[in-house]
Amino acid sequence: MIALEPLRDEDSDTLFAWINDRELVEQSATFRPVSRAEHDAWFRAVRDPGRDDLVIYAIREHGRLVGTCQLLIDGAEAELRIRIGVADARGRGLGTEAVRELVRIAFADRGVQRVWLQVFAHNTRAIRAYEKAGFVRCGEAAGGATLLMERVSR
């Protein structure tokens, strides 16, 4: 069982390590090293309570930070992003559980009508998790290297 909770001050160092872990980042994005100053500015910005275009959560299992998930909101649509940063937390359904809860928040609490995401076509584990959470393929990008998936409010 997971909980989606606000990021805490003490999460910053772990997130900084994750964003600079090439193997982890390349599961879902193009890697580029991030300086401590860049990270600290990002961490402050994403925790700004006045933002209505972004919702970010720590994914915790029994109180332990295992990942993050976020919605980048643009009107009635939102892009979903997720990262499970702890290796032993992967492949156990925690990502699927977090995605389901984040979609619920998008539709019920934020009034979003469509949630979409991008996933590398070779990341079959992530694609399976998204499909279990109700997402369907709706396109592709980068010559088929990236799939677009969506879930529409009922």
Strand-pairing partners, residue 69, are 57, 82
Q: Are the C-beta atoms of 128 and 137 separated by less than 8 Å?
A: no
pLDDT in tens, 124-153: 999 999 999 999 999 988 777 889 999 998
Both structure tokens of 3 = 């909980």
Cβ-Cβ contacts under 8 Å for 151 (sequence gap 6 or more): 103, 114, 115, 116, 133, 134, 135, 136
Starting at the earlier edge strand, list the strands of the sheet with 114-120. 2-5, 54-61, 64-74, 77-84, 114-120, 146-152, 136-141
- What is the chain's mean pLDDT, rounded? 94
pLDDT in tens, 8-22: 999 999 999 999 999
What is the predicted pLDDT for the residue at 64? 97
Q: Can you list the domains of the chain with their CATH numbers?
A: 2-152 (3.40.630.30)
What is the predicted pLDDT for the residue at 87? 93
Residues in the chain where the model's pLDDT stays below 50: none
